[in-house]
Chain A
Amino acid sequence: MFDVTFVTQLLNGLQLGSIYALIALGYTMVYGIILLLNFAHGDIIMVGAYISWIVMSQLGMSPVLAIILSVAGCTLLGVLIDKVAYAPLRDAPRLSILITAIGVSYFLENGAQLVFGADAKVVPQYFEMDNLMLGDVQLSSVSLLIIIVTAVSTAVLTYVVNRTKLGKAMRAVSEDMGAARLMGINVNNTISFTFAVGSALAGIGAVLYSMAYTQASPTMGIMLGTKAFVAAVLGGIGSIPGAVIGGLLVGLAETFVSAIGLSVWKDAVVFLMLIIVLVVRPTGILGRPMTEKV
């Protein structure tokens, strides 16, 4: 049934999936390099959305500035969180750093509630855009923009990781931190760079999220982060194409479950997918089989 509705639903699913994919990339990169599930990652999106709200709604400045400051703010926040909360625990057991991540997440959520209040804030529209007509199909310009920006961001990221010196350093640290250090790679800087890139993607995600869903609230990062985490695990945590595939799969699954009238079940379906993947193929779709080093 390749009708108008199907095409629109596909677009809806890709839009939602693109946002999950951008966030999942941040999860997967940080996990790839220091084996940390950064549970504060979803809350970085929340901060990014609030920055856009402050710049446009409160200060009345231009949307372009709002986008720049949101992305820059998220990048700085990501690096800061690493330096303050995670770097001192680099040699601690992995459980300690995981619990710290949960702590940072609570800190950001409750901090936002304290500063901005529990009510949702409306992020104004960045741009006025007309929808595209393709025959009788009306294509949402917001959806198209989100999908394109995500595709470009992923392409740039893939280039950086595979073709640049910093990317090579990232891959080296991820392979073996000790050996990388012996080869003269500045491990701490490389980890900071990874956090910066992951958080910049979260910043882009925050802007795209605000474009589509227009509201910032202190707890918005929780479900968003959880879904992106599912996407990262689904695709194979540590794998960049895996995160994108996982994100799109989760977004499409949610959309089509709602489309057949089971919207109340869509979260259950997503988590069921996670359980099935963990049982059948624990490393995810594109994950490499990993043997735990002792």
Chain B
Amino acid sequence: MGTISRRDFMKMSGAIAGMAVLAGCGGGSGSSSSDGGSEGGSIKVGLLGPYSGDVAQYGLAVRNGAELYVKQVNEAGGINGKQIELDTMDEKGDSTEAVNAYNKMVEDGVVAILGDVTSTPSIAVAQQSQNDNMPLVSASTTAAAFVEAGPNVFRACITDPFQGKLMADFAADQGYKNVATIFNSGGDYEVGVADAFVEEAKSKGLTVTTEQGYAAGDVDFNSQLTTILATNPDAIMCPNYYQDDGKIVTQARQQGYTGVFLGADGWSGVLDYASAEDLEGCFYDCSFTANNDDEKVQKFIADYKAEYDADPGNFDALGYDAAIVILNAIETVEKDGKAEYGTDDYKQAIVDAIASGTADGVTGTIKYEGTGDPVKPTLVLTFEGGVEKVFTTVEA
């Protein structure tokens, strides 16, 4: 009594599997029957990113920013009387999932896509998008190969080499003569920024005294720092992620270095990882900071807080701006009224409108000049008594 024989068990599992197959079919047929949506007075825009998995934090932040702007536009009456309808899909940080989600969005009839979020899936989607000439705007993908995929691909963020060049120009403007670098020589981001920094510094007539690499996971940087300090640099470029930057700055101060450190946007959050005293007077570049008196930025922060009860970060701001880029372009096309919604002409018109338009975002005014890389102002931040402040805005 009460025991289940093997045969019964097999029957039961067969029945369960059968149910699962049926359920799967139902889901498939239901979603493919959706229409273009223009008759319902709406415009469909895809929102693609990782909302679960290892890199979900970035995807969720971009989504929060983008959804906030779309909500604001819809509440203000939409575009040309039509509401924006977001077709949101989770690609879990995986390239295959991302391409599948992209194909699904094409089937659903979206006219533009905001995505993807991280480099590898973004590149896969950008390549796939060449078949459809789908307007594609990523908030955060910095990889060069992404916008090189085709003329329909754009990003809202600045690239790694751009940051390196910017900080080298900044170093020259500050009157530094000798600079050194210390960077994770196994990281694409760190190497990308550091190489561009060195190249630009040399072309500006600065002396790069030494370039010191380290391996991911290292905690002791004393040896490299001693080598650097022996060359008496005016500033040390340290374009790594904030946990490493914190350790490097602390150890350099222990060795008695009193000069300046320069960094890139990986420094965001470094205040938790080194003392206020050690960071005083250092500089790094980034697109967005909450400690910005700019009216537009403060309004964005207030709106974001009201919606999500949290403070926005860099990725939220870039998601918001990528949504502005797309919706501005759609507005231009809708007002123009020449292209019929959902056609290839309509998509081409959006691509043209992005390429020639200007988007007034919270990370600055975004323009494109012949490539998918934005031309936008960048902030250089500094630390004063443990608080981040905007030191200067470098105009594009």
Q: Which residues of A contact B (CB under 8 A)?
A: 4-5, 8-9, 12-13, 15-16, 119-120, 122, 124-125, 131, 138, 140-143, 212-215, 220, 223, 254-256, 258-259, 261, 263-264, 266-267
Contact A263 B212 (CB under 8 A): yes
Instruction: Tell me the bound Cα distance from A16 to B222 in angstroms.
Output: 9
List B contacts of A131 (CB < 8 A).
254-256
By a CB distance below 8 angstroms, the chain A residues around B213 are 263-264
Complex contact B214–A263 (CB within 8 A): yes
Segment from B103-111, B224-232, B281-289, B318-326 that makes contact with A: B224-232
In the complex, B186 has a CB within 8 A of chain A? yes
Inter-chain contacts of B254 with A (CB < 8 A): 131, 140-143, 212
- What is the CB-to-nearest-CB distance from B54 to chain A, in angstroms, rounded to a whole number? 11
- Interface residue B220 (Cβ < 8 Å from any Cβ of A): yes
Contact yes or no, B255 A213, CB < 8 A: no
Decide if A214 touches B246 in the complex (CB within 8 Å).
Answer: yes
Q: Are B273 and A122 in contact (CB under 8 A)?
A: yes
Min CB gap A181→B, angstroms:
43
Most chain A C-beta atoms within 10 Å of own C-beta, residue among B213, B218, B220, B255: B220
A220 to B185, Cβ gap below 8 A?
no
Residues in A whose Cβ lies below 8 Å from that of B273: 120, 122, 215
Q: Which residues in window 208-259 of B have CB below 8 A to A?
A: 212-215, 217-220, 222-224, 226-227, 229-230, 243, 246-247, 250-251, 254-256
Give Cα distance in the complex from A215 to B246, angstroms. 9
Interface residues of B (CB under 8 A from A): 185-186, 212-215, 217-220, 222-224, 226-227, 229-230, 243, 246-247, 250-251, 254-256, 272-275
Contact of A12 with B226 in the complex, beta carbons under 8 Å:
yes
Q: How far is the CA of A125 from the CA of B229 in the complex (A)?
A: 23
Q: Which of B185, B186, B230 contacts A5 (CB 8 A)?
A: B230
Q: Which 3 A-B pairs have the closest CB atoms?
A: A258-B223, A12-B222, A138-B256
A84 to B218, alpha carbons, bound, how many Å?
33
Not counting A5-B227, A122-B272, A264-B215, a sample of 4 additional A-B residue pairs whose C-beta atoms are within 8 angstroms of each other reads A4-B230, A8-B230, A256-B223, A264-B214
A138 and B230 contact, CB distance less than 8 A: no
Q: A267 to B154, alpha carbons, bound, how many Å?
A: 41
State whether B212 touches A122 (Cβ < 8 A): no
Min CB–CB distance B136 → chain A (angstroms) = 32
Bound-state Cα–Cα, A122 to B250, Å = 11
**Bound complex: CA of A262 vs CA of B394, how far in Å?**
36
Q: How far is the CA of A288 from the CA of B243 in the complex (A)?
A: 43
Docked Cα-Cα span, A215 to B275, in Å, equals 12
Given the contacts A138-B255, A140-B255, A263-B218, A215 and B247 also touching, CB distance less than 8 Å: yes
Check if B250 sits within 8 Å of A214, measured CB to CB. Answer: yes
Minimum CB distance partner of A262 in chain B: B213
